[in-house]
Structure 1
Amino acid sequence: MSDTANSARTLDLITLGRSGVDLYGEQVGGRLEDMGSFAKYVGGSPTNSAIGAARLGLDTGIITRVGSDHMGRFIRQQLEAEGVDVTGVVNDPERLTALVILGIRDPESFPLIFYRENCADMALCEDDIDPDYVAAARALLINGTHLSQPNVSAATLKAVHAIKAAGGRVIFDVDYRPVLWGLASKDNGEDRFVSSEQVTQELQHVLPLCDLIVGTEEEIHILGGMTDTVAALRKIREYSGALLVCKRGPDGCVAFPAAIPDQLDQGIVGKGFPIEVFNVLGAGDAFMAGFLRGWLRDESIEQCCTYGNACGAIVVSRHGCAPAQPSAEELRVFLSRNDWPRRLRDSAALEHVHWATNRLTGYDKLTVLAIDHRAQFDELVEELGTNNLDRVTDFKELALRAMAQVAENEDGFGLLADGRYGRSALESAAGGGYWIGRPIELPGSRPLRFEGGREAATILADWPLDHVVKCLVFYHPDDPAELRAEQDRQILSLFEACRATRHELLLEVIASKNGPVEPDTVARVIEHIYALGVYPDWWKLEPAVDPATWTAIEQVIAARDPYCRGILLLGLASDEESLLASFSAAVGNPLVKGFAVGRTIWVEPAMRWFKGEIDDAAAIAQMAASFSVLARAWRDARQDPVS
């Protein structure tokens, strides 16, 4: 392909084919019948590879259909968040999004059931293919499943001809699932090979149009029409001059750019990595993404094999397919050393890189209205003698409306609300595009305790995944050793629960209530928490006007966790003037993304509203006015442009 043609491309890669939702059994080591809960992930081989390629830095799009249903919206939202172009994703109002239920029984058994009867992605047709969109990509990835029915086969071939006419390249992932060709019983979706002359013939039709063909040994067998791998490769070579890549699991892969030798190992061998297999599902899709990262950048075949094998090794160590795909930074870290544990998921260092570099939403700025207070509202209601806690719930709904009024259509606004009195506000905020935080600590507890006296993991099992877990801990580095040890145990258990349940963690530290605060006091607490092996996504810290305090904090976070999302300033019921002064002191620190302030904004209107002195509209207006002043002041201090 010429340099001129390359420069006109808007995408590196478009994938075409299956797109569904994986419901992954969370219990490992038993039958699917015995699994009691399931994690929901995006699935489908081309979709997994699209996400994997996007994470590795390729500009990627996808052509598929999803249902006009909750699961279809979930797929679209996830793809958009991952940076995958969804121009080619068609909403199908007549069909439901495909589902797959699957589990991990043992290293050799992965029970899998496809729910794909008349599903959306198998209704893809020629009319869904825009030749101009396809032609704008450098390469098109197709898969065998979408050659199994006339309509999807016709759509695939239309896309193939469009990209070939534009000088692009075609990649073929054999992706053979006998059950999807009607060759295995519906409860045997994990079957990888059933011989079929008809399937072989259908697959071979596309071979002359391919530039890269990738498959496992079983897939090479079906593609070549024989179970001797070398003989099957030679048959494939009769149809295509493409680069052939045979995946061999833990043994890595072998690539054949030209004639097929007498033995597999006489090809270009890409060695595998000695990683324990936890879950093979999705490893091939990761291999494809890794291989294409190199191949589409014209790197050597050997380097492409290394990328592919490394990505596959990373994914076989984890639960899930799409969410297990590595980022470019994670791949770099993995390849930078060769002493990883065989049980790769036991590496806290790599797991943190995976988590931190694959978070889906970034925040340059964050302006949060904090209405998560519980004890303060209990005191307010008691003081006023209303004895009507339902009114607290109503007031917190008004606070959400005040925040939304200030936010309008601007990004970077959020709400911090509790599940006790703020549940309806949390429910109303869902889907609004806001950052949502939620407290888990028992108010005022020291040592730290969690709401309701329960363990953190039990509490978080009920929370939506987009709720950031906020935990306030009263911690001073000079606290008694016994107290610090108890606090440490709770913080560590919370962090582990957050990672297990896929929730981000905002750790709020208040040191000033339990001892003198020097410029390095908070930095010492942060350093200690990192030493525990705890890596909060966010820190929420007391305002400080001393630049030395912020310098110390920034140095610790930069050294310990360069992937940290950032810091939010808390208000501590400070008056507006004090808060504005703290903004000026903190704004120069790039880690400080904004603030989460509450009592400064809501205390006065709450008092007046509960007394009946103002109505709902006036309470909303007063809170919105105060919140707007702070938001504008922060924006001005940062010199952000007005949107």
Structure 2
Amino acid sequence: MEVITFGESMVVFNPETNSPLRYVDSFSKAVGGADSNVAMALARLGHEAGWFSRLGDDEFGRYVENIIRGDGVDVSRVKFDDKASTGLMFKEKSYGENPNVYYYRKGSAASKICIEDLDEEYIKSAKIIHITGITPALSETAREVVFKVLDIANKNGITVSFDPNIRLKLWSIENAKSVLLQIAAKSDIILPGNEEGEMLLGTSDEKEIARKFLELGCKTVAVKLGAKGCYVANSEEDVYVAGFKVENPVDTVGAGDGFAAGFLSGILKKLSIEECGRLGNAVGAMATMVKGDNEGFPYYDQLLQFLGKKKVVDR
């Protein structure tokens, strides 16, 4: 397995109209979750990807499993819980470019994940383990799972990729900071946004963020700069990689996960850090062009077309 990730995936309800939710009468149903988003995007790019979690033993849980599996992601280690339900998320698009999100995930099946759910041999099969900062925020047992997986990865020489994904609706920055910095210190690749860097390290300067994470022990740092692109650094070099202009972004949720998948795809292909950043920027940009958390993630041919490396045949 090239990449394995884990964490909560929810059923997402997208409003059919742009207004406060109290005025919305109809929704479309989809699946969302930072961890599974990365796995789905990698699978579309042609990589072997696995995702595991707990889902409610309910219709929503089966729906989540089917959607993620349908993109080619291995879900063989997913557990179904008949005592807890699948989490839900509602989006609200009214003012501004970024949607508001409302979680209904407290006590969800995913929050009940525990060390006993882990298949250690499965984890050892990965080249890269991708972790997000959402999972340790779900519960104490979920946090224990994160550190157990980190321990397995570190002991077996498996590359660890970490996206802080700070969610202040799940925990306070005071609680998040110490946990996320501990995870960062055990990670090889870290993919923070510059706002996350400021929350964790006290600076919004991308070069300072990268320097501090490298000093913490990370080998590669890619600081996401939104529409501007990213700044990538390791112990040998650093580079700014320009973003791709999107005239009318439709939905920004999932763009960071798309960046992570594109960047990790470059790592798996042993590309330069600049090219890894370019792939990350491209997948992240394409994610914003389509409504939904993961619907805009491209297949590899589509990515090549976006990058101008393959001609488009319209008809």
Indicate the TM-score class for this superposition, using the shorter chain for normalisation: over 0.9
Whether the 8 Å CA contact 1:140–1:170 is kept in 2: the answer is yes
TM-superposed deviation, 1:308: 0.8
Gaps of 5+ in 2: none
| Alignment RMSD (CA, Å) | 2.1
1:285-333 CA-to-partner distances (Å, cap 9, x unmatched) read: 1111111111122111111111111111111111001222111111111
CA distance in 2 between partners of 1:106 and 1:14 (Å): 36
Partner of 2:224: 247
Q: Which of 32, 36, 43 is 2:32 aligned to?
A: 43
Whether the 8 Å CA contact 2:194–2:209 is kept in 1: the answer is no
What letter corresponds to residue 97 of structure 1 in structure 2? T
Q: Which has the higher helix share?
A: 1
CA distance in 2 between partners of 1:140 and 1:228 (Å): 27
Whether the 8 Å CA contact 1:241–1:258 is kept in 2: the answer is no
CA distance in 1 between partners of 2:124 and 2:251 (Å): 36
Q: Please give the secondary structure, in 2, of the residue aligned with 1:87.
A: coil
CA distance in 2 between partners of 1:338 and 1:107 (Å): 34
TM-score by length of 2: 0.93
Q: Which of 110, 126, 150 is 2:115 aligned to?
A: 126
CA distance in 1 between partners of 2:157 and 2:204 (Å): 34
Change (3 A) 1:165 1:117: same
CA distance in 1 between partners of 2:104 and 2:263 (Å): 30
1:72 pairs with 2:51:
no
Q: Please give the secondary structure, in 2, of the residue aligned with 1:269.
A: strand
TM-superposed deviation, 1:229: 4.7
What letter corresponds to residue 164 of structure 1 in structure 2? N
CA distance in 2 between partners of 1:227 and 1:311 (Å): 24
Whether the 8 Å CA contact 1:27–1:35 is kept in 2: the answer is yes
Q: Which of 85, 90, 93 is 1:96 aligned to?
A: 85
Whether the 8 Å CA contact 1:131–1:163 is kept in 2: the answer is no
What letter corresponds to residue 116 of structure 2 in structure 1? D
Whether the 8 Å CA contact 2:54–2:110 is kept in 1: the answer is yes
What letter corresponds to residue 142 of structure 2 in structure 1? V
Count of residues in correspondence between the two structures: 313
Aligned sequence identity (%): 31
- From the CA coordinates, give the structure whose radius of gyration is larger: 1
TM-superposed deviation, 1:59: 0.2
TM-superposed deviation, 1:228: 5.0
Whether the 8 Å CA contact 1:224–1:233 is kept in 2: the answer is no
TM-score by length of 1: 0.47
Partner of 2:145: 155
Partner of 2:3: 13
CA distance in 2 between partners of 1:169 and 1:41 (Å): 31
What letter corresponds to residue 108 of structure 2 in structure 1? C
Whether the 8 Å CA contact 2:210–2:222 is kept in 1: the answer is no
User: Which is worse superposed, 158-167 or 304-313?
Assistant: 158-167
TM-superposed deviation, 1:139: 0.7
Whether the 8 Å CA contact 1:286–1:325 is kept in 2: the answer is yes
Partner of 2:268: 296
Q: Please give the secondary structure, in 1, of the residue aligned with 2:53.
A: strand
TM-superposed deviation, 1:103: 3.0
CA distance in 1 between partners of 2:211 and 2:258 (Å): 26
CA distance in 2 between partners of 1:165 and 1:230 (Å): 30
Q: Which of 240, 243, 257 is 2:234 aligned to?
A: 257
Q: Which of 282, 291, 296 is 2:254 aligned to?
A: 282
Partner of 1:499: none
CA distance in 2 between partners of 1:241 and 1:109 (Å): 30
Partner of 2:22: 33
Q: Please show how residues 538-553 of structure 1 align to structure 2 within 5 Å.
A: none
Q: Please give the secondary structure, in 2, of the residue aligned with 1:176.
A: coil
TM-superposed deviation, 1:125: 0.8
1:63 pairs with 2:52:
yes
Partner of 1:235: 212
